[in-house]
Amino acid sequence: MTRRSIIKSIALLFLSIIAWQWKWLLSKIQELFPNTTTPSSVATPATPGSLPSFQAKQLLYQFKVKGQAPAQSLIELRHKNNILFSNTIKLSKEKKADYPHVAYSKEQDVSIVTIALSPEYDSYPELKVEAKGIPIYDQRVIRQTEVKMIENTHPIEGYTPKISYEPGEKVEFKVHTKKKEFNLVISRFGLEEKVLYQKTGIKGAVQNYPAYAYREGCHWQTSFEFTIPEDWKSGMYAAKVWDESKREFYITWIVRPKPMKEKVTAEAKKKRIAMLSATNTWQAYNPWGGASLYTYKRNPRFQRYLPDQIGPRFAQYVTTQRPNPEGRPVPMLGQEPTHLASGERYVFAWFEREKIPFDLYSDMDFHQNPHLLDSYGTLCIQTHNEYWTKEMYDQLEKFVDRGGNLIYLCGNGVYWKMVINNDLMEVRKDNEMHMLNGEKGGTWRSLKRPESRLLGVRYTTPGITTFAPYRVLHPDHWIFEGTGVKKGDLMGKEGPRGPASGHETDKRDAHSPKNVILLAKGLNPDEDPLQRSDGSLPVETEKGMEVGKGGGEIVYYDHAKGGGVYSVGSTTYGTSMWVDPVLSKMLRNVLKRFTGL
């Protein structure tokens, strides 16, 4: 060994000793003066590279403090500059039974506090978690990926793997019951509730479900199989299941027609009507399994906690693989029909009463089949079709651009962007990027595709949850032919869900086509229940247009590519049309112009 190499080795050894001593010194300083303000005090999740972040089953925020844990701390969850959660959490060991989302352990003179967080927070790639005001010297966020099963103590319930089937397809019913046997009756729901099949004495079984089943899915065993007869008409069907407890549950699905084998003629195409059932919205409102796109199951003690975790106000993901009480085709005893399946039934019944044929499709059909409308001249969107994928919106625009006619018997439609991946549905109401495909989320208008550009109207919050009739404004228009109304007359004064302009209402805005004609306006109050404390509205006025008015607007315009667009701007229009002769005649006139029927 040369003299130079010996000197080099000694120098490296000396530097290594200094580095080790410096590291040891820093650790001692951190023990004496815990750091709570630098970036090292903010815990971020560590995700294995092969694990997509939305597959986490549970998040745990864990931190260590010297001695006894403090009585409480401000826990804050952030994503970029947005605060997702900020609240003071009691950490007192004596209160452990009241705060089951907090766990404790001790290592000599160190207290370890673990707080359960909802896996919904894992949809934020830059999640930061911090306990403020506590001298923490170590903290982290732990992802758990194991599935925890929950014992199912519910009454009878069930689901089918798909929301839509063709004649000849096999339907698998996945049913949970605590009884040894259950019964099943299948009916079609249109102008009448027609019983088509019955089966009794089906073997029952308890079917447990995973935690967070609202997005994980149930994965239940098949209890009964049924093949749809070839002669069953397109429409809304449901199986009512019940057992000796006398409790019942409806499992609803759509029977769509088989694809046309031959290309239809132009004359036949003009007469053909496709109708969408708003099945995406059914799932959005479905709280089964703990959450929906509107709610997150809460401990009654706290406004924003699950019994075992800190959770958000609503979910970002829901799955189709779970029971859906919101798909019930008939109202609960003593209740009105809803804005979902039981409300849609009135639209189907009206078409059948008027002897106007139509083919019914689910939103999933429209999402999966880009050529679904190739053989139709008219599309009807009805009741509350709020959640649209890019594939659905693209197909709708193409349909109208090639001369298709659009009937929008709906309110708050084509509003949120939804991304679907197999059985999982994702909606980013925070306008963040979708985890399922990396695209930006939000409302379609926030994504530079305002629905009013096509529908003529768009949803705004003024008038929400109020109900009123429409006032006629343009009685000389051909849509009012044969109604006998005069300017200022009221129509749609009543209905099974109340007057025709109600629940959620749509109005024109600056993006509406220039040739749109306002036929009638709802008399809903102008006030916005979401208005700011100073009285100003969170809905901006665009180019002088009063978008803050509460009443729904019935409009019509001729599309530049040859078709027509008729929009009513209310979720209750369809149920009121069932009993109101003027609303009924108006749609009759539109259908005659569009289809010749």
Predicted local confidence at residue 298, as pLDDT: 53
Residue 7 lies in a domain: no
Residue 311 lies in a domain: no
* Same domain? 160 vs 246: yes
**CA of 172: how far to CAs of 164, 255, 278, in Å?**
12, 14, 22
The total domain count for the chain is: 3
* Same domain? 354 vs 494: yes
Mean pLDDT of 436-442: 95
* Same domain? 339 vs 478: yes
Residue where a domain terminates, one of 101, 120, 146: 146
Give strand pairing partners of 388. Answer: 417
d(CA 568, CA 566): 7
Within 8 A by CB and 6+ apart from 54, the residues are: 119, 122, 123, 317, 435, 436
Mean pLDDT of 43-58: 53
66-80, 274-288, 350-364: the lowest-pLDDT one? 66-80
Residues belonging to the chain: 597
* Same domain? 62 vs 130: yes
* Same domain? 490 vs 580: yes
* Same domain? 347 vs 446: yes
Summarised one tens digit per residue, pLDDT across range 527-551 is: 655 544 444 444 443 333 344 479 9
Summarised one tens digit per residue, pLDDT across range 232-280 is: 999 999 999 999 999 999 999 999 999 988 899 999 999 999 999 999 9
Residue 434 lies in a domain: yes
d(CA 406, CA 381): 8
pLDDT mean across residues, the chain: 86
User: Regarding predicted confidence, which is higher, 188 or 124?
Assistant: 188
pLDDT at 294 over 50: yes
pLDDT at 20 over 70: no
CATH of residue 333's domain is 3.40.50.880
Task: Report the sign of the C-alpha dihedral through residues 126, 127, 132, 136, in that order.
Answer: negative
Amino acid at 407: I
* Same domain? 281 vs 335: yes
Burial class of 107 by CB neighbour count within 10 A (0 to 12, 13 to 18, 19+) = exposed
d(CA 315, CA 312): 7
* Same domain? 395 vs 469: yes
- Both tokens assigned to 150: 């929950």
Reported as a pLDDT band with limits 50, 70 and 90, residue 526 is confident
Q: What is the CA radius of gyration of the chain?
A: 29
Q: Quick one: residue 22, left, alpha or beta (phi over 0 = left, psi -120 to 50 = alpha)?
A: alpha
Amino acid at 123: S
Summarised one tens digit per residue, pLDDT across range 338-376 is: 999 999 999 999 999 999 999 999 999 999 999 999 999
Residue 116 lies in a domain: yes
Burial class of 14 by CB neighbour count within 10 A (0 to 12, 13 to 18, 19+) = exposed
Predicted local confidence at residue 549, as pLDDT: 79
d(CA 358, CA 356): 7
Residue where a domain terminates, one of 100, 115, 146: 146
Beta strand residue intervals within 177-334, DSSP E: 181-189, 193-203, 209-210, 224-227, 235-242, 248-255, 273-277, 305-306, 309-310, 317-319
pLDDT at 481 over 90: yes
DSSP calls for 326-392: GG-SSPPTT----SSHHHHHHHHHHHHHTT---EEEEHHHHHH-TTTTTT-SEEEEEE---EE-HHH
d(CA 250, CA 325): 7
CATH of residue 93's domain is 2.60.40
| 8 A C-beta contact, residue 464 and residue 501 | no
Mean pLDDT of 76-104: 74
d(CA 592, CA 597): 5
Mean pLDDT of 213-235: 96
Predicted local confidence at residue 301, as pLDDT: 38
pLDDT at 458 over 90: yes
Reported as a pLDDT band with limits 50, 70 and 90, residue 484 is very high
CATH of residue 212's domain is 2.60.40.1930
Predicted local confidence at residue 46, as pLDDT: 46
* Same domain? 475 vs 581: yes
66-80, 96-110, 566-580: the lowest-pLDDT one? 96-110
* Same domain? 138 vs 164: no
Predicted local confidence at residue 32, as pLDDT: 36
Residue 431 lies in a domain: yes
Degrees, nearest 5: CA angle 196-200-206: 120
d(CA 488, CA 56): 58
pLDDT at 26 over 90: no
Domain range for 212 is 150-253
Mean pLDDT of 43-60: 57
| Alpha-carbon torsion, ordered 56, 60, 61, 65, to 10 deg | -150
Amino acid at 89: I
Reported as a pLDDT band with limits 50, 70 and 90, residue 337 is very high
This prediction has a pTM of 0.88
Top mean-pLDDT range of 125-139, 331-345, 393-407: 393-407
* Same domain? 117 vs 186: no
Reported as a pLDDT band with limits 50, 70 and 90, residue 21 is low
Nearest Cα residue to 266 out of 403, 379, 407: 403
Predicted local confidence at residue 38, as pLDDT: 31
* Same domain? 502 vs 458: yes
The pairing of beta strand 193-203 with beta strand 181-189 = antiparallel
| 8 A C-beta contact, residue 497 and residue 574 | no
Q: Is 549 helix (H, G, I), strand (E, B) or coil?
A: coil
Give me the percent of the chain exceeding a pLDDT of 90.
66
d(CA 399, CA 561): 10
Within 8 A by CB and 6+ apart from 502, the residues are: 466, 467, 468, 522, 524, 552, 570, 571, 572
Residue 469 lies in a domain: yes
| 8 A C-beta contact, residue 115 and residue 310 | yes
Residue 296 lies in a domain: no
Predicted local confidence at residue 286, as pLDDT: 95
Residue 29 lies in a domain: no
